[in-house]
Structure 1
Amino acid sequence: MKEKLMNKLQAFSKGMFVPVLILPIAGIIIALGNILTNARLAEYLPFLNNKVIFGFGKLLSGSLVSILVNLGLIFAVGLSIGLANKKKAEAGFTAVLIFLIFINAMNNYLSVTEKLVPADALRGSGQTTVLGVQILDMGVFLGIILGIVVSYIHNKYCEKEFKGAFQIYGGSRFVFILLIPITVILAVLLSNIWPFVQQGISALGTFIQKTNNFGIFLYGALERLLIPTGLHHLVYTPFLYSSLGGVAEIGGQVYEGARNIYFAEMADPNLVQLSKSVIWDARGLSKMFGLLGACLAMYHTSKKENKTKIKALLIPAAFTSILAGVTEPIEFSFMFAAPILFVIHSGLTGLGMVVLNLFDVRAIGPNGIIDFFLYNVPLGISKTGWPMFLLIGVFQFAVYYFIFRFIITKFKLKTPGREDTPEETRLYYKSDYKEKVKASDEKKSATIIPILVEALGGRDNILKVDNCFTRLRLIIKDTSLVKEDRLKNETGASGVIIKGENVQVIYGLKVSTIKKNVDEYLGIAIE
């Protein structure tokens, strides 16, 4: 039962990537629009003082902010696509239809039961307007619930076919037919249940606010501690996109969640100071600074004869963490060899966020240094305090370095480069690194696919192939046939996690290319 639950949670976590990863793109466009309309920048860059450029910037930021107020629909469609095993496009289309049915069914039920509040009294009532329809304010949770329901029914019945005159009602049309009564009943049930859920969410939010720095520490530490399970997305997503991360009225529109509030505030030039809720999106401190200190500590404590190999491992991993915020190549380099370091890393991540809060820093930096400057610099120092973020980052770099170095040497931990034999160091070394970097990612990943499949136990042992942002996620028939050493030594994997029939192989940003090539090698149709 525990294994089955873990499988479901990992599948859900993977499915969340479809909607979640599209939102930073919207944020970057909003940031660009903010740059083009920033009056202070125009003083130093005269070419920005132009009506056409200003208008274009206003158009960009104003258009993209609309995504933030329709996250329910985005998550319903995105999660349906992410969780669908096949016919993903049809699952997404069905989700749109079901979302429209749900909001109108709920609106009609609330109207019939005389539970709708006046349109001018929505604030604080627990109700809101979605696509022009007044319903209970379920925020992003509405999309998550509908995405799960649609994908479940879709996966179960999307290939159901009928004969004769009823043939036209098979497949995705049958899924839609089944979902109509389910959606209406769900709308009625949630109309009565969700007010209690709202009270629970409000109480949890109040608890977190009252615990203040302890709550921030717990959030930051858990977000890292759950990395090995792949479920860390379930920690930060509610804070970034629901009322748990804060509620703010900006320009007459109510926004929920740290990320949504921040992006909305970016587009509002009249704000003097950003909301304090953005602290939940300041998770990038350890990614840009702390882990760099950890890498330097591991390099300095490695054996002299292994330093060249360790450079080949740590330098690209460090740059990936700093530039793109992808930390797993570094974390998995010490997670299994020295778990205590990972626990320390998680605690330092939480403490770093607490320090940011103590210094009233409003800057965010979830996805590396490029996003950090794009998001924060145009808003100015007074709004974000971004220079203090960098200063605290330098301090955190030093803390990581000295703590990691002390712990590694004190307890003689077998971090990369400190193994007993050179062959063991090979477990963390990307073979033929210098030769591989000269080839394109497509060609490079294609050459390792036969080895990868063989190391997973062969074609017949692989039941399902999927991926998230950095991991190749597989369902394996017999995990005893999986050869972790070969995956690390010969395919460049940073780590391998085996839980029940679930196998996760960490490849970093190139994972989507590897997944595509695995699909082609196994003859899996790519939708």
Structure 2
Amino acid sequence: MKEFLQKLGKSLMMPISIIAAAGIFLGLASVLQNPMIVGEGFVSLVNVQQVIGFIRAIVAALFGNLPILFAISVAIGLAKAEKATAAFAAVIGFILFHVTISYILNLNSINSLTTSVDALVEAGSSQLEATKIASAYESVLGYFTLRMNVFGGILVGLWVATVHNRFYDVELPMAISFFGGKRFVPIITTVTIPLLGLLMYGVWPVLGKGIEGLGTVIAGAGAPGTFLFGALERLLVPTGLHHILNQLVRFTPIGGVALIDGEQTVGALTIFNTLLAQPNPDLGMMQEATRFLAQGKIPFMVFGLPAACYAMYKTSKPGEKNRVKGLLYAAALASFTTGITEPIEFAFIFVSPILFVFHALMSGLSFMLMDLFHVSIGNVQGGAIDLTVFGILRGLDTRWFLVVLVGIGYAIVYYLFFKKIIIKNNVKTPGREAEIEGESVVIKDVANIGQTIVEALGGHSNIKEIDNCFTRLRLVLVSTEQVNEAALKATGAAGVVRISDTAIQVIYGPQVEGIALKVKGAAQIEEK
């Protein structure tokens, strides 16, 4: 189950990378259309504003079609082989899923006309009741259906991936063998996906209310709720399951529900991006939406963890400083600019529970302080890019200066605490590791890093699957007992996580994509 959830979390990150980039463009567009920042003269330039309007239209199209993007991403991420076929089947499945629900709704006289606010008010409902009823439905790819948002896409992706892995290599009798193998996957998807649609027609109204109720509880918890989220999000980092927690607050009612221009908008990130596209967004609503977004990460990602890197460098052995300087500098730079923190975190979370718990509590405190200070900085990463685009450039209303002040305090506290604990408890952070007698350590060879990693993993015969996410090389092996961790760390890995007897993850940071390709080439494993 843990391996499955980690694969699911990794597959959810594929559309997130697009959203993060699109969000930056949307943020810049919002700045360039704000007369308080760029002046009335610039805003009045018709041609420039038309280009900006075009950018907004593109970004809006991405945000508006997130459910199908998640359906495709989950199907690809969980498919064992023939991933292109899984993606194709996911598109078919997503369309037919909503066609099924739309058809059943129409049979019960539930459509866009009967559920409009005006029609419901005319039938006797109050304005509030009518708005709540109408918000339970939406149009997806032109089909009137239940409002399930990203959750519906994830469900379809899971269904298609399950069907795909069961049937992509099926062999049919000779007379119909043409329809066997990967061709059978879209066919069986077409036959079975209406069952999922029928199931969700009955289940979703109850499940949706339950999720929305949970979101109401979290929202009602106020600052303690954001503290718990921030601490738990960091505590889940070693397992990789923090990705799932993040998606829950970004795209489900757990992260909030808002009515914007008469349309129900669900999830913290969706609400923020929708408001960002408004000419005059509701600042209070935006502050509420950003409670679980980038603002809570900036103090420890931009300031705290780089300071921790400096503390680890200062406490490293004199003869090791040159070796660890490059590693820690690259890790600190990644955290500072983009909010990718795992190369730093995996340098201490397994060797010092005290530092790990401290880091998690400081993360929770960061989210809580940003909530209490009514900061309004959105997006997903939490690095200096988000601070600049969604904070500084949008003006003082975002209260970005409070983030910087808190961040400076975080840098001081992180440096002093890390330095004290590392020295007092002799923590084996980079540059302080004890030499293990008899364990062979492979010298880092950039030119042949793929082959070096393969050998450290136990050779070609020990490798079954190779994959990667933003920062981790994810592997399924015959046995993890054959892995040489010291040799992997000598290739530049920040840490190694043994998930089970056959699954392992190696933390390389943002450069993992290129490393994964080299390892696949050296292991002679191709993407199927």
Range moving further from structure 2, 202-211 or 26-35: 26-35
2:406 matched residue in structure 1: 392
2:472 matched residue in structure 1: 471
Change (3 A) 1:484 1:39: same
Structure 1 residue 364 displacement after superposition? 3.0
Map 1:7-26; keep pairs closer than 5 Å.
Answer: 7-26=3-22
Change (3 A) 1:217 1:276: same
**What is the one-letter code of the residue matched to 2:297?**
G
In the alignment, which of 272, 294, 299 is matched to residue 313 of structure 2?
299
1:485 matched residue in structure 2: 486
Matched, 1:280 2:280: no
Q: Secondary structure at the match of 2:39?
A: helix
Q: Secondary structure at the match of 2:510?
A: helix
Structure 1 residue 414 displacement after superposition? 3.0
**Residues 32 and 57 in structure 1, CA contact (< 8 A), matched pair in contact too:** no
2:105 matched residue in structure 1: 110
Matched, 1:144 2:157: no
d(CA) in 2 for partners of 1:124, 1:308 = 62
**Residues 303 and 336 in structure 2, CA contact (< 8 A), matched pair in contact too:** yes
d(CA) in 1 for partners of 2:518, 2:455 = 14
Q: Secondary structure at the match of 2:476?
A: strand
1:336 matched residue in structure 2: 350
1:84 matched residue in structure 2: 79
1:440 matched residue in structure 2: none
In the alignment, which of 361, 364, 370 is matched to residue 350 of structure 1?
364
Change (3 A) 1:422 1:173: closer
Matched, 1:243 2:253: yes
TM-score by length of 2: 0.90
In the alignment, which of 16, 19, 38 is matched to residue 42 of structure 1?
38
2:66 matched residue in structure 1: 71
Map 1:81-480; keep pairs closer than 5 Å.
Answer: 81-114=76-109, 118-121=114-117, 123-125=131-133, 126-273=136-283, 274-282=286-294, 283-285=296-298, 286-364=300-378, 366-367=380-381, 368-382=383-397, 384-419=398-433, 444=446, 446-480=447-481
Q: What is the aligned-residue RMSD (CA, Å)?
A: 2.4
Change (3 A) 1:245 1:431: farther
Change (3 A) 1:366 1:392: farther
Q: Secondary structure at the match of 1:414?
A: coil
**Residues 269 and 378 in structure 2, CA contact (< 8 A), matched pair in contact too:** no
**Residues 33 and 56 in structure 1, CA contact (< 8 A), matched pair in contact too:** no
Structure 1 residue 105 displacement after superposition? 0.6
2:127 matched residue in structure 1: none
**Residues 469 and 511 in structure 1, CA contact (< 8 A), matched pair in contact too:** yes
1:439 matched residue in structure 2: none
d(CA) in 2 for partners of 1:64, 1:418 = 47
Structure 1 residue 169 displacement after superposition? 1.7
Matched, 1:59 2:72: no
Q: Secondary structure at the match of 1:379?
A: coil
4+ aligned runs moved over 4 Å, structure 1: 46-49, 114-117, 419-424
**Residues 17 and 82 in structure 1, CA contact (< 8 A), matched pair in contact too:** no
**Residues 467 and 475 in structure 2, CA contact (< 8 A), matched pair in contact too:** yes
Q: Secondary structure at the match of 2:431?
A: coil
d(CA) in 2 for partners of 1:492, 1:7 = 24
Deviations 1:111-152 (A, max 9, x none): 223455724137422222222222221111101110011011
TM-score by length of 1: 0.90
State percent identity of aligned pairs: 37
Change (3 A) 1:157 1:422: closer
**Residues 85 and 185 in structure 2, CA contact (< 8 A), matched pair in contact too:** no
Any gaps of 5 or more consecutive residues in structure 1?
437-443
Deviations 1:367-424 (A, max 9, x none): 2112331233343221x21222222211221222222233333333333334456999
Change (3 A) 1:213 1:179: same
d(CA) in 1 for partners of 2:301, 2:384 = 9
Any gaps of 5 or more consecutive residues in structure 2?
118-129
d(CA) in 2 for partners of 1:379, 1:92 = 38
Map 1:26-37; keep pairs closer than 5 Å.
Answer: 26-37=22-33
Deviations 1:425-467 (A, max 9, x none): x99xx966xxx8xxxxxxx3x5111111111111010011111
Q: Secondary structure at the match of 1:21?
A: helix
Deviations 1:472-515 (A, max 9, x none): 100010111000010001x1111111121111011111111111
d(CA) in 2 for partners of 1:496, 1:297 = 22
Deviations 1:304-326 (A, max 9, x none): 44333332331111111101211
d(CA) in 2 for partners of 1:525, 1:325 = 31
Range moving further from structure 2, 97-106 or 12-21: 12-21
Structure 1 residue 354 displacement after superposition? 0.3
**What is the one-letter code of the residue matched to 1:22?**
I
d(CA) in 2 for partners of 1:51, 1:284 = 37
Provide the aligned length of Structure 1 versus Structure 2.
Answer: 506
Structure 1 residue 32 displacement after superposition? 3.0
**What is the one-letter code of the residue matched to 2:460?**
R
d(CA) in 2 for partners of 1:73, 1:104 = 14
1:497 matched residue in structure 2: 497
d(CA) in 2 for partners of 1:474, 1:356 = 37
Q: Secondary structure at the match of 2:116?
A: helix
d(CA) in 2 for partners of 1:340, 1:480 = 28
